[in-house]
């Protein structure tokens, strides 16, 4: 899995980039079933995880001024999560938790579909 980080209206330090890689990299365990089944799009042999960090405005003093968006393209679906918060690291953690739930739903749905296909094949045989 490759993590692509973009920042708008703020500078990204190496320390915070390592924090992002640690948090978002932890989601890789939920993607192992895709890599095992080789359900990749034609020509791709890896997954790309896009993380976009944004500071809303420079004059903003109160409220949610930081926004974090994540996106991953999976076979058959694109998962997106976003969060606004006054603290960038809190927003990142909220997005990670939301994306974790989305990945669990996706995995459950794909597993259910494959089980149905197996049952159908057994009944036809």
Reported as a single tens digit per residue, the pLDDT across 63-102 is 678 999 999 998 888 999 999 998 999 999 999 999 999 9
pTM of the model: 0.79
CB-CB contact of 53 with 12 (8 Å): yes
Residues 7-34: pLDDT tens digits?
998 888 999 999 999 999 888 888 877 7
CB-CB contact of 86 with 112 (8 Å): no
pLDDT attached to residue 5: 94
Bridge partners for 79 per DSSP: 72
Q: What is the CATH number of domain 2-124?
A: 3.30.160.100
Question: What number is the average pLDDT over the span 44-71?
Answer: 82
């Amino acid at each position: 899995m490759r993590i692509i980080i973009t920042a708008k209206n703020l500078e990204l330090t190496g320390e915070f980039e390592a924090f992002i890689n640690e948090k978002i990299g932890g989601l890789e365990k939920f993607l192992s079933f895709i890599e095992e089944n080789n359900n990749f799009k034609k020509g791709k042999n890896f997954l790309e995880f896009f993380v976009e960090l944004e500071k809303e405005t420079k004059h903003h003093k109160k409220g949610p001024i930081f926004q974090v968006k994540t996106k991953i393209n999976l076979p058959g679906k694109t998962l997106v999560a976003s969060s606004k918060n006054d603290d960038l690291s809190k927003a990142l953690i909220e997005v990670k938790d939301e994306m974790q739930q989305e990945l669990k739903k996706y995995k459950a749905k794909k597993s259910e579909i494959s089980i149905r296909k197996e049952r159908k094949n057994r009944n036809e045989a």
